[in-house]
Amino acid sequence: MGDEMDGNTILAEALKSQGVEYVFGIVGIPVIELSMAMQAAGMHYVGCRNEQAACYAAQAIGFLTGKPAVCLVVSGPGLLHVFGGMANAQINCWPMIVIGGSCPQDHEGIGGFQECHQVELARPYCKYSVRPPHPKLIPTHVEKAVRLATYGRPGVSYLDFPGNMLSMSVPLADVCVVSKVPPPPVAFPDPAKVREAALILTQSKRPLVIIGKGAAYGKAESALQDLIHTCNLPFLPTPMGKGVVSDMDDNCVAPARSAALQKADAILLFGARLNWMLHFGRPPRFNPNVKIIQVDLCAEEFHNSRASTVAIQGDIKIVCGSILQELSSQRWKLPPSSSWWDLLKGKVQGNKTTVSKMIADIRPPLNYYTVFHHIQELIPKDAIICSEGANTMDIGRTLLSNTLPRHRLDAGTFGTMGVGLGFAVASALWCQKYAPGKRVICVEGDSAFGFSGMEVETMFRYKLPIIIIVVNNNGIYGGFDQDTYNAIRDGADPTQVTPPTALTVRVRYDNMMSLFGKKGFFCKTIPEVQEAVKESLKVLDSPSIINIAINPAADRKPQPFNWLTESKL
């Protein structure tokens, strides 16, 4: 039998030969032997506690490395559970491969175990969905899955494997031999478009750069830093564009976001989409006459919600360097004493003054701003921050700084809750291999933590020193204090009177550590928060949980607009 190979081994070896390193999943019939074959091939297998978390972890590896990881699931419900994660990766444009076991082909149509039309059901959530017709053709489809997941706009590939195909043995000589997928091709911009963009910038009085997560994924940090510093341009990062240029950089005007968007007369948009996160690029959030220079890998993204003045398709690093070269040839630079910089700096300082007052209030029950400020003072400046929740994520974004690219992962374009712990698992594994000693801080709202809290066990199993911080306001958006909660429910049917946004008051999430013979931290004051963070940073072989009770009525500072631009229909 030495000259034969079964489908499990063919698939594992094909993935390994294409450079796939990580597999996340939950095993069962018919993929148990496949998971073992993957380990035997040299891949890292990480067993999670639910399929959604496994899918979130796999796509986070894709964002951090540019190489897809595998999410491995069982048939039927196993695959159905990852569609939310597949959609999240597809919309965020992160590469990932989902592999689903399925019922044996001779059981199809007669009520096989977990029988499901998996290839068809997966198709709306990915770029490529297929069942290889024979084990010998598996390497061909693995190569295509990797290629389509990484080329062009990155996304998801789905491969479906009936149990009988995985167990079937075929002669080695019949197995297709496929070359490794080369790196994605580099797209160069149209020089005429670059010159047009440079002309707009040199004629503008109030230019602004917006940095999206596409710039982070494209590793464009050096090129963008050169452009911004050489030309003295103000910039705004989108949430996962944070750190491409440091949040601490003098040219970062994130505290003046509303004024920057409203007043800019020219916007250079790098790897960001004019969707809900940027208010569709429309008034009143944006100047109605603003000229938008949009840079993206995907031409279909251009002119999506409003027409761009100049649309440049190309690799962001190359486009950025080309624009800088054109501007440098004209010796153009935004004067630091311009009225535009004066306006932005004034708004930045005004916002910092407002936030400083909120930070200064350390009386219990605590507010978001003082909690995040004192966490920021203690965590390493190069930490990877994974975050989810409503106010927890949004306010944390403004106060927890990123100085390096690809060091913030959050709910993203799809606004997906439940991503945090899976993202943190992937980030910690990435740190183990590529940046030993770097820490991962997972900042969760209490509602968000509930989506995948049992992944704490996964973190213990794989010795991942993730610091989980639960900002606990007793609800979704916000809950109630104990007296109000009791008064609402006293003598009544809880299903009729408990507000849909309310959760149980002061749940002791920190006590989950006792399941593993450890002790968590429950904090109600700033000194307790500080001590908990310091002690957690000393732990190097397991996760920590810091549960911080805050005022259930705590909210973000007043905003000039609703957070979500309203429809005019």
Q: Is there a domain that residue 556 lies in?
A: no
pLDDT tens, position by position, 302-350: 999 999 999 999 999 999 999 999 999 999 999 999 999 999 999 999 9
pLDDT score, position 385 = 98
Residues 278 and 261: their CA atoms lie apart, in Å, by 9
Q: Are residues 425 and 532 in the same domain?
A: yes
Q: Are residues 70 and 145 in the same domain?
A: yes
Distance of CA 243 to the CA centre of its chain: 14
Q: Is there a domain that residue 564 lies in?
A: no
Q: Are residues 327 and 369 in the same domain?
A: no
Q: Are residues 269 and 326 in the same domain?
A: yes
Other CB atoms within 10 Å distance of the CB of residue 83: 18
Q: Is there a domain that residue 180 lies in?
A: no
pLDDT tens, position by position, 374-385: 999 999 999 999
Residue 106 DSSP SS3 = helix
pLDDT score, position 519 = 98
pLDDT score, position 106 = 87
Q: Is there a domain that residue 368 lies in?
A: yes
Is the Cβ–Cβ distance between 354 and 408 less than 8 Å? no
Q: Are residues 167 and 199 in the same domain?
A: no
Q: Which of 373, 353, 351 is nearest to 362 (CA)?
A: 373
Domain count, the chain: 3
Q: Is there a domain that residue 562 lies in?
A: no
Q: Is there a domain that residue 254 lies in?
A: yes
Domain containing 421 — which CATH number? 3.40.50.970
pLDDT score, position 556 = 77
pLDDT score, position 568 = 52
Q: Are residues 37 and 90 in the same domain?
A: yes
Q: Is there a domain that residue 285 lies in?
A: yes
Q: Are residues 340 and 373 in the same domain?
A: no
Domain containing 339 — which CATH number? 3.40.50.1220
Please, what is the angle between helix 51-65 and helix 83-92, to 10°? 20
The full length of the chain comes to 569
pLDDT score, position 57 = 98
Q: Are residues 37 and 83 in the same domain?
A: yes
Q: Are residues 376 and 401 in the same domain?
A: yes
**Nearest 5 degrees, angle CA 217-CA 435-CA 21?**
65
Q: E-assigned strands of 204-318?
A: 207-211, 235-237, 266-270, 291-296, 310-313
The segments of the chain whose pLDDT lies below 70 read 1-2, 560-561, 563, 565-569
Alpha-carbon Rg for the chain, nearest whole angstrom, is 25
Q: Are residues 311 and 255 in the same domain?
A: yes
Q: Is there a domain that residue 438 lies in?
A: yes
Q: Tell me which residue range forms the domain holding 300.
A: 191-346
Kindly provide the b/e burial profile for residues 140-166, where b requires at least 16 CB atoms within 10 angstroms of the residue's own CB. Answer: ebbbbbbbbbbbbebbbbbbbbbbbbb
Domain end: 174, 204, 228, which one? 174
Q: Are residues 319 and 409 in the same domain?
A: no
Amino acid at 225: Q
